[in-house]
Chains A and B, each alone.
Chain A
């Protein structure tokens, strides 16, 4: 009994320490990059001194959002304004998702942590965005249209869903950290020079604990690199598990509706144009999906590059890849916890 518990707690400790280290280095790496350009693309050509890309995105979003309400207003008297509504909603969806937000961060981190393909990344992005649209439509259809509840009631429902969604992200992240942490530690042990250092230095005691952890944690982690030091083969990267595994990612992200969509839907309903609001919400979701998918593909490709570069290095290459996956898993957990406890604010649900 004792070694089992000790091994487990040591593993948890090592995971936590390693997670901090990975995130700290990610953060350090990121700051200079963000300072230059948040999205890694070219700077906007016009007025580079004042052209903060995030600020610019916010300004566009703000404009499109205002145009959505204007389009609904004019659609009341002029049916052709519905086309404007759809076009603006689509643009809003694209820009809205391009701003800082947790949905794409969770999906991208999940893809990286789980050796997923770009194709699956695109599919997950679309399914989660459409689910998000559907939840918003259902809330307004059931709450406002059928039951005619007040905004306050509807908002409480939204808040409840939001908290549940953050808890889901944290739980999902914790699971990823647990499994990826195991792989990471095993990759760490498999690295010859590191094992030697651990055996020779003050890490001696810890090194032993690793081995306990290894034996007991083996059952629930599918790791093909147990004790071997070779780069991952392409066929190993497709990853088993099928759709069920991706479902968790889709649910955690997609279940939380966008408050903007809810406002638009209620406004459309109040103006007798609920159907136009529904169409607008779906189109908005489509726009969001395109952006999220683009970022997801970017994340997967970046990992591919990292893998190709690191596969040339015996042993440490595996370690790097496991480290990256572990870091991504840690990110999902931190995002979930941060959102849940209010350290990170996503677009908040306002109940007033």
Chain B
């Protein structure tokens, strides 16, 4: 029995909740990532050395209020507090990195050897992200993405990922998400109705895989 009052409530609920479903997500920060996968002598992966370059708008924002001796020139020392703030803040987001060795998720330790530099108004954060336990695996997959898509990660056009000290047989492969706009369009409302948007950044993931037969 489709009563009119039911229809009225539906209309109302729709108008009310049109906006209320959940997270608001569009990128505010763009990061171009390059990474080095660092191996130990026995052929196990010990960690990832990242260099993340931020877009100019976010770089301006982050550089706001940073004291310098020469205006517009930022030294590593002057950027040291900022670098520290960054790596500390990144912990909450698990460094936007998911590493899986033969399908098993790996834990990271806190970053070491971190610093920042600024070139042409663009900030780059360098840091080494060590694995809690170095791992030897046939297949290793590293995803770099923000599940909430506040930060849009992109692998660098040139040399997005390299192996350092890996066994000679290991091969690295890089997989980029399809054009971001196209992917955004493919996302249906169902993702949002199901609350799936909390993880929909995975569709934009940048996957680095290493196969060591």
Chain A interface (Cβ within 8 Å of chain B)?
Answer: 26, 29-31, 33-40, 47, 50-56, 58-59, 61-63, 65, 69, 72-73, 96-105, 108-109, 112, 144, 148-154, 259-260, 262-264, 266-267, 269-271, 295, 298-299, 301-303, 305-307, 309-310, 313, 320, 324, 328, 331, 335, 344-348, 350-352
Contacts and interface: CB of A to CB of B under 8 A. Distances in A.
A54 B56 contact: no
Nearest to B7: A309
Which of A51, A104, A259, A309 has most B Cβ within 10 Å? A309
Given A69-B55, A328-B16, A347-B25, A62 B64 contact: no
Interface size class of B (residues with CB under 8 A): 35 or more
B9 A34 contact: no
A26 B198 contact: no
Interface in B18-45: 18-29
Nearest to B61: A266
B58 interface: yes
A303 B12 contact: yes
A309 B25 contact: no
Interface stretch (B84-92, B156-164, B167-175): B84-92
A60 B6 CA distance: 34
* Those 5 A-B pairs whose CB atoms lie nearest each other, nearest first: A306-B8, A352-B89, A55-B187, A105-B20, A150-B65
Interface stretch (B107-115, B133-141, B178-186): B178-186
Given A52-B188, A100-B192, A151 B148 contact: no
B18 A40 contact: yes
A73 B89 CA distance: 28
A259 B60 contact: no
B118 interface: no
Contact of A352 (B21, B63, B90): B90
Contacts of A149: 64-65
A317 B167 CA distance: 76
A49 B65 CA distance: 48
B11 A302 contact: yes
B62 interface: yes
A152 B84 CA distance: 11
B26 A58 contact: yes
A35 B150 contact: no
Contacts of A33: 10, 13-14
Interface of B is mostly: helix
A163 to B, nearest CB: 16
B73 interface: no
Contacts of A344: 22-23
B57 interface: yes
A40 B185 contact: no
A296 to B, nearest CB: 9
Contacts of B7: 309
A346 B19 CA distance: 11
Contacts of B26: 58, 61-62, 65, 96, 99
A335 B184 contact: no
Nearest to B192: A54
A37 B21 CA distance: 13
B190 interface: yes
Contacts of B16: 26, 105, 108-109, 112, 299, 302, 328, 331
A270 B63 contact: yes
B80 interface: no
25 contacts: A34-B192, A35-B189, A52-B186, A73-B56, A96-B26, A98-B19, A100-B21, A150-B64, A150-B65, A151-B61, A152-B85, A264-B57, A270-B60, A295-B15, A299-B12, A299-B16, A301-B15, A305-B12, A306-B5, A309-B5, A324-B9, A344-B22, A351-B85, A352-B85, A352-B86
B58 A38 contact: no
A302 B181 contact: no
B12 A345 contact: no
B75 interface: no
B36 to A, nearest CB: 22
B186 A50 contact: yes
Contacts of A37: 189
Given A52-B186, A152-B85, A29 B63 contact: no
Contact of B22 (A40, A51, A100, A303): A100
A48 B123 CA distance: 41
A42 B173 CA distance: 43
B2 interface: no
